[in-house]
Amino acid sequence: MPFAYYARLSAARQRIYRKSDEIDRLDLPAGVDAGAVVQRIADQLAADDRAGVQKAAQALVDALVGAFRVPPIRVRVLARRPADDGGELHGLYEPEDGATARITVWMRTAARKQVVAFRTFLRTLVHEVCHHLDYELFALAETFHTEGFYKRESTLAGALLAQQAAVAAGDPQRPLF
């Protein structure tokens, strides 16, 4: 079932929306083992180390875009989320024609200035990567928040969290990233 804004889209944009909505999974490519780098993100958030979070987030995004064989993305982690009357901005994807796309994520809430929860941060980062994959992997002319989009985000984040849990549990079969 399309979200409410679907009815306001042009016929061409509705076709893009429907194509996006039909893609309901985004599995990690074979051979991607990002558990250790995802654990590094968790550790750096816990240490309140913005530079460390940015370095680990960039390593994760580099691994993902490399595995999906799409153009690179530059990751920027900033301290405090911007906010207005509409709420807080969690992440931002900025595609760049002819240049490297950029993802910006924030590691502190706007109101309380607290470090965001690890899972929230990871899901935000994956969400923004999914926008990039809509353009570069699925060749969609636009990236919409569809049910399919959220399912792709969820399957990818779930796979990364499963790998991180194995590393956190000390699974000796998992190589360190």
Question: What pLDDT is recorded for position 8?
Answer: 92
Residue type, 75: V
- CA–CA separation, 6 and 24 (whole Å): 18
pLDDT tens per residue across span 84-139: 777 777 898 999 888 999 999 999 888 888 999 999 999 999 999 999 999 999 99
Q: Which of 169, 172, 138 is nearest to 152 (CA)?
A: 138
pTM for the model: 0.91
Query: Could you tell me the pLDDT band of residue 171, with boundaries at 50, 70 and 90?
Result: low
CA-based torsion, 166, 170, 176, 177: positive or negative? positive
Question: Residues 85-88: contacts with CB within 8 Å, 24+ apart?
Answer: none
pLDDT tens per residue across span 16-54: 999 999 999 999 999 999 999 999 999 999 999 999 999
